[in-house]
Amino acid sequence: MTSGGRAALEPTALEPTPLEPWVLRRAGATDMEGLRRHQLRALRETVARARRRSRFYADRLAAVEPGDIANLDDVARLPFTTADDVRREGMRLLCVSPGAVARVVTLLTSGTTGEPKRIHFSAADQELTVDFFEHGMSVLAGPRDRVLILLPGERPGGVGELLARGLERLGATPLPHGPVGDVDAALDVLEAERASVVVGIPVQVLALVRRGVSRGRALRLASVLLSTDHVPRAIVSTLERDWDCRVFNHYGTTEMGLGGGVECAAHAGLHLREADLLFEVVDPLSGVPLPPGQEGEVVFSTLTREAMPLIRYRTGDLSSFVPGPCPCGSRLRLLSTVRSRRGDVAVLVGGERLRLADLDEALFGVDDVLDFRARLGADGEGEWLAVELLCEGGSAGQGGGGAALPRRTAAALARRVALAQQFDRQPLAFAVGSQPRAKVEHIVSGKERLV
């Protein structure tokens, strides 16, 4: 059902990511030393401009002279910018007049209180995003491909609309659809439009796969790009198996300008948009930069942003730089796939560390599970973990899951979370070391995820 076909896109040998020549060209460089010189020059210019044009950075960087930044390591001397800064300061971060702002993206906070974050972009900023999307998508799509876009794009300047513009420049055919609301309708579009590539949110694309399998609709695609949320390996494996496709991971946030990095065919990590962004990995507590191989918090500085530059912005995402070169031969740095955030880790009574990523890998690896919500708490009997499952078919007793689904889910949790499974009482129980048991309750409902 593909127009390009997997075989047409599958390389006979690994080649350097097409992002490398684009990044070097954007930097006016021919090698990595030239790229680093560009980054240093652009960082100094960004600091100078932010001090001059932004009321927030005029105060925050008052003690910093751009000339004091002698090398890229000196970026560690600059203060961090946080999400709270963006919420509180708002328009004071702008380096352009309000009339020069072409698009404002509002990011609501989690919970019921708190000011939203508003990220401002000029037309030039959005053009940089389109340029990145064109070249980033060339990693997995070509001119013959028809690309179903399952991302918001109903408004000009939205991520789906910018991606469609990038795909048109690539010569591919964009098929804007928007986020998946009706799974069957989206499957109908996928088949009717003969899409060979899909771009979407991990759990929504998983829903398409699960529904197609349950309804006997055998689909084959060339490739899938997963974006906007962390990508569990369990979802990747399901897509590769059931759609016989290559799956790529894109990492980007609105604050980055919607695009930060994308995997190549080697799937060894994320090649970064280094002409426009300077990335660091720092210790989450001390803020000290960490060497390759050590996990910490991802921090970035914009190098070419016009409307709202961000200097040393703390993302809250946890990752590490990959030591050594990519197997594809590219000289660009590699960032490990981001799978968790600060705050997505709970320490149990026995000292066990439970990550949301552990639950992702355990639960999304169970057939029929589409999404889940988990709550961790404690009572007089010990700690408990309540897991609400959203399943294909609507309940644990339908859609092929049957009565065995809770038991299979418990077994998956025991394997991934390293908790010993017990079956001597209901609800299903797990032992946490020598500490009181952690109860695991299985409820079928809910469409949100919360830890």
Q: pLDDT, tens digit, for every residue of 34-89?
A: 999 999 999 999 999 999 999 999 999 999 999 899 999 999 999 999 999 999 99
Say if residue 163 is in the same domain as residue 308: yes
Q: Are 308 and 93 a contacting pair, CB within 8 Å?
A: yes
Q: Is residue 184 part of a domain?
A: yes
Say if residue 388 is in the same domain as residue 301: no
Q: Which of 10-19, 116-125, 242-251 shows the lowest per-residue confidence on average (mean pLDDT)?
A: 10-19
> Partners of 373 in the beta sheet?
388
Last residue of a domain, one of 290, 324, 339: 339
Instruction: Give the percent of the chain with pLDDT over 70.
Output: 79
CA-angle at 271, arms to 267 and 276, nearest 5°: 160
Say if residue 388 is in the same domain as residue 329: no
Q: What is the pLDDT of residue 4?
A: 41
The Cα–Cα gap between 136 and 271 comes to: 9
pLDDT value at 442 more than 80: no
Residue ranges of the alpha helices (H) in 10-148?
19-27, 32-53, 55-60, 83-89, 123-137
- Assign 169 to helix, strand or coil: helix
Instruction: Give the percent of the chain with pLDDT over 90.
Output: 62
Say if residue 230 is in the same domain as residue 179: yes
pLDDT value at 217 more than 70: yes
| CATH number of domain containing 288 | 3.40.50.12780
Token pair of 98 as six digits: 């309000």
Last residue of a domain, one of 314, 339, 364: 339
Q: Is residue 376 part of a domain?
A: yes
- Assign 264 to helix, strand or coil: coil
Say if residue 282 is in the same domain as residue 415: no
* Domain count within the chain: 2
Confidence of residue 407 (pLDDT cuts 50, 70, 90): low
Containing structural domain, residue 294: 6-28+122-339
For all residues of the chain together, what is the average pLDDT?
A: 83
Average pLDDT over residues 12-34: 90
Torsion of CA 394, 400, 403, 407, to 10 degrees: -100
Last residue of a domain, one of 305, 321, 339: 339
Q: Is residue 241 part of a domain?
A: yes
Say if residue 376 is in the same domain as residue 325: no
Under 8 Å CB-to-CB from 70, ≥6 apart: which residues? none
